[in-house]
Structure 1
Amino acid sequence: MEEQQEIVEPLSLAIERHGRGDTVTVIATLGDEEVHRDKLDLNRASDRSKFGRAIHAKLPRFTPLEIDTQLLKLLADIERQREREQADAPEQSRGDELNAMELTRPELIIRRDFSGIVVPRLLGSRNGTDCVWTLYAKSGGKRSASELETSVVCGDQALHVHPMPPLPSVADVTELCRWSMESRNAWTAGKLTPTTAEVLNAVMDRIDRYVELPSDGESGCVGYNATLSLWVMLSYCYPLFPAVPYLYLAGPAGSGKTRTMDLIGRMVFRPMFSSNTTAANVFRSLHARGGTLLLDEAERLKDDRSPEVSEITSILLSGYRRGGRANRLEPSGDSFRSVSFDVYAPKLLACIRGLPPALSSRCITVRLSRASTGSPRAGRSLDDSPEDEQRIRDLLHAWMLERSATLLVTPSPASTLANRDAERWEPLFRIAALCDDAELLDFVIGHAAGQLEHEVEDATPEADPALLSALHELAGSKPRFTPGDVFESAKDIDPDAFEDGWNPRRVSAVLRRYGFRVQRSNGKRWYRLNASEVADVAKRYGYELSANSSLEGF
């Protein structure tokens, strides 16, 4: 009698498609029994490998390679089906061409006679809870609240929302819904219409309660307070400006930088706090949700040897102007494609030892000092008045909807500022102008002019003046000298400016930024310079050469 062979049932794979993409749910069955199911992108080798390993763990006779072969056949079937669908579809079904100039980000929408702000809400339903994005908008004097759609009607124009956010999670509602339901209902009913002056005064009172700001001459701390408060308001309307100034909190340890950042973060639009973030987290978060980045302990941005820090700095520099992008290669199946992330947003930076010069030039600086002993402001807890904190946020949201569109037709106030200085301060000047208080506007403009006189030292890397002074001194006393000579001389001039990690090669890299390049001779690297050349460069950058160096050339 012949021995019967065991019948091995084949493994069957079926798919459930999700839209028109390659992400599908794959169901593996053996006979009538479902063995495994998972959602995966068939283009991704890692997804296919994971699925194959899961099957192999349950049914060892099926190898991951066999499973991968079957998955690739499924992918080929999907692609052939898609090609047939595209061939059979009429041309007009692909939609009309959209005007790229009519795209708008979803979180803050500001046009002439139209302003909108998007808030995530948590709704009760028969199945538990649902989360939705709701657009609160004022158009032509009419207030409305409606679910966010892919297109927003703005007068006789349709704006196309991009990127369209996925449905919010409960965590999104908890973090991003900072406008109270009572206030939203009051605004929709026309009962909450704050003026610019009312909101500015409310924010200034809040800051004055908790932070002891340094004196600004006869006006006390009012200039710094007005600067901080106007910047808080700017975070609710920044998309309408071509550039958004960053806020830099400078000061020694114990001067209240972190406390001030925390206080401001409780008022600004969609804050994102970080002290040790990655570049990927910065550009992905800003692109996905917009809002305000608050970066504490920003000293590490001066570490020009770290690739990660260089990438973060690059993102910060790009995000200063509207349309600023971070371009990255993102995985796409088994290859990569270029993806552009929108990183334009307000950013607050706080540190002790200064910022890189290119970044400092994009900042409005507020210098903090240690509070006096027994200061009532420094002793108050930021959590002692949550109702007032919420009231401020409610006012800011309502102000954005009531007044921000007016900024589009508000002319830039006259001032003595020019170029980058004017660009940084103009948004704050225009917001102050909406207060209809000429004295206040003149005061803010005067305060800005006074602060610009003090910004040179914040824009100056700590070691650079000592290096230029050493270079000037050596150029006036030696026909040639090495980067090592400059390094040793600079350390004598300012020992505290050179922490661990400095060496002659780094010195030559810094000096190369100012146009001073070494020459090679007999295997060594030398400088051959005139002292007047160095003096001219120092004068152009506003650096004072040390008393040890000759002042030839000035």
Structure 2
Amino acid sequence: MSSDPNASGPTPLISHVCQDGTLIETIHDPAKAETALAVCRPGGTTAVVADFDLPTGERLVPYSARNNLLASGCVLLPGDVGEFGDKGDVVRAVQAFIHRYVDLSPAFEEIAAHYVLLTWVYDAFNELPYLRFRGDWGTGKTRALLTIGSVCYKPFFASGASTVSPIFHVLDAFGGTLVLDEADFRFSDATAELTKILNNGTVAGLPVLRTMTNRHRELNPQAFKVFGPKLIAMREDFADRALESRFLTEETGQRPLRSDISISLPAAMQEEARELRNRLLAWRFHARWRVASDPTRLVPDIAPRFNQTALSLLSIIDDAGVRARIAGQLAGEEARAAAERAVSVEAAVLSAIMDVAASLPALPISVRAVAEQFERTALGRAHGSLTAKAVGIVIRTKLRLPTVKMHGTYAIPNAQRSTIAALAARYGIAAQEAA
């Protein structure tokens, strides 16, 4: 067997980070139908080359311009290494581009502009938020995706009607930004394959395992890397509450469209986006080894989950005013999640548990008594009648409280009272019970 690393031919790639810090990115000129490699050495010098030899002897080449993902515009790349000026210039240029074609609230326009920059250095972080546009049809969600997505890092455009397999493969091979329209069209259930991508894609090092077979038909499970930034448009919420906490959300269609927004995107927009991608590639080359999570940017008084998700975005924003406005957005997301949790069936059952526990301070908490109290409360009645068995299922599977059989009936042991108090605080009903 030959030991020549190039015996099987060169390796095509979209991007690569070398061990010595060299950054390699494929660039694509659709007019000339040509691709090349843009290379940035650790010292900051850049060059455009046809191929690149690694110290191992492996030869790297760009993906072909005839590749359908590139030729069709499904994946967009820079055409060259531009001049980014300074970070403030790039942010202002991106925000002006977004403002020209999309009608967003002022605060979210700032968030979106900085999120674009984050996509170009996302691999410097371990956790990421997602950007979401939620609203009815005809409220500008798709326009926002097409515009903002066109200047993100290696955007890959897909829709909820797409099959999941190519999404797994493209994300694993290309990385970059998934731009997903109608995300709730087919994949609203928490166990759907696409939801697994979204759940695992915010944290580095959490691939999705899928069953594969090799050419000999042997079982060969494969780990697909799905970590990366994502732009999502959808009409409703996801059923998975944990997934909901990963989004920075703009509610679309809540005000009249600005009169200066064109109904159709002009052809010039694509060239503007390409020029911005060129500048943003220069920003990546400049900033990739200069950015990192900054714990001093954590937002006080919000849940750790929201801080963990947003810290990467906050870490690249120099303007304290913009960070404060994002903090307000995070507080709003947390308040919305808390309000939804407070009116859930779990909260209604927990409130009934608290009532029964208060009336029987020294005894185990009977599931039947909880069910009867659930029926008596307004919040319980709003969720419809539940049998004692159904209430027991909520207690065990949703609230994760154990029940044991005592004297022919099921009850929550007295030892669980401290856990019940902690759950009540989480669901926002502790103050109500204390009153």
Q: Which bracket does the TM-score occupy, shorter chain normalised?
A: 0.7 to 0.9
Bigger drift between 272-281 and 197-206 goes to 272-281
Secondary structure at the aligned position of 1:336 is classed as coil
- Counterpart in the other structure of 1:206: 97
Secondary structure at the aligned position of 2:249 is classed as strand
Change (3 A) 1:180 1:401: closer
Aligned: 1:115 with 2:23? yes
Contact kept? 1:511, 1:517, Cα under 8 Å: yes
Change (3 A) 1:278 1:457: farther
In 1: Cα distance, 2:24 partner to 2:369 partner: 57
Matches within 5 A, 1:462-501: 462=340, 465-475=343-353, 476-477=355-356, 480-481=366-367, 485=371, 489=375, 493=379
- Displacement after TM superposition at 1:442 (Å): 0.5
Contact kept? 1:121, 1:177, Cα under 8 Å: no
Q: Larger radius of gyration, structure 1 or 2?
A: 1
- Counterpart in the other structure of 2:281: 400
In 2: Cα distance, 1:152 partner to 1:486 partner: 71
Q: Aligned pairs, how many?
A: 410
Unaligned runs of at least 5 residues, structure 2: 360-364
- Displacement after TM superposition at 1:449 (Å): 1.9
Aligned: 1:452 with 2:326? no
- Counterpart in the other structure of 1:144: 47
Cα offsets for 1:6-55 (capped at 9, x unmatched): xxxxxxxxxxxxxxxxxxxxxxxxxxxxxxxxxxxxxxxxxxxxxxxxxx
- Percent identity reads 20
Change (3 A) 1:353 1:401: same
Secondary structure at the aligned position of 2:194 is classed as helix
Matching residue within 284, 289, 292 for 2:174: 289
C-alpha RMSD of the superposition: 4.4
- Displacement after TM superposition at 1:337 (Å): 1.3
In 2: Cα distance, 1:446 partner to 1:492 partner: 38
Change (3 A) 1:180 1:361: closer
- Counterpart in the other structure of 1:56: none
Cα offsets for 1:185-210 (capped at 9, x unmatched): xx4xxx74443222211221122233
Matching residue within 314, 324, 327 for 2:196: 314
Secondary structure at the aligned position of 1:144 is classed as strand
Aligned: 1:272 with 2:157? yes
- Displacement after TM superposition at 1:537 (Å): 0.7
In 2: Cα distance, 1:518 partner to 1:483 partner: 13
Secondary structure at the aligned position of 2:344 is classed as helix
In 2: Cα distance, 1:232 partner to 1:490 partner: 51
In 2: Cα distance, 1:167 partner to 1:450 partner: 45
Aligned: 1:240 with 2:124? yes
- Counterpart in the other structure of 1:348: 231
- Counterpart in the other structure of 1:428: 313
Unaligned runs of at least 5 residues, structure 1: 1-85, 97-102, 125-130, 215-220, 434-440
Aligned letter for 2:326? A
- Displacement after TM superposition at 1:172 (Å): 3.0
Change (3 A) 1:427 1:461: same
Secondary structure at the aligned position of 1:273 is classed as strand
In 2: Cα distance, 1:461 partner to 1:315 partner: 27
- Counterpart in the other structure of 2:362: none
- Counterpart in the other structure of 2:299: 417
In 2: Cα distance, 1:535 partner to 1:165 partner: 58
In 2: Cα distance, 1:397 partner to 1:415 partner: 29
Aligned: 1:256 with 2:132? no
Contact kept? 2:78, 2:278, Cα under 8 Å: no
Secondary structure at the aligned position of 1:327 is classed as strand
Secondary structure at the aligned position of 1:212 is classed as coil
In 2: Cα distance, 1:167 partner to 1:342 partner: 23
Q: Structure with the greater relative contact order (CA < 8 A, sep ≥ 6): 1 or 2?
A: 2
- Displacement after TM superposition at 1:412 (Å): 5.0
Structure with a larger share of its residues in strand: 1
Aligned letter for 1:288? A
Contact kept? 2:132, 2:233, Cα under 8 Å: yes
Cα offsets for 1:160-197 (capped at 9, x unmatched): 789x887553523322674575xx3xx4xxx7444322
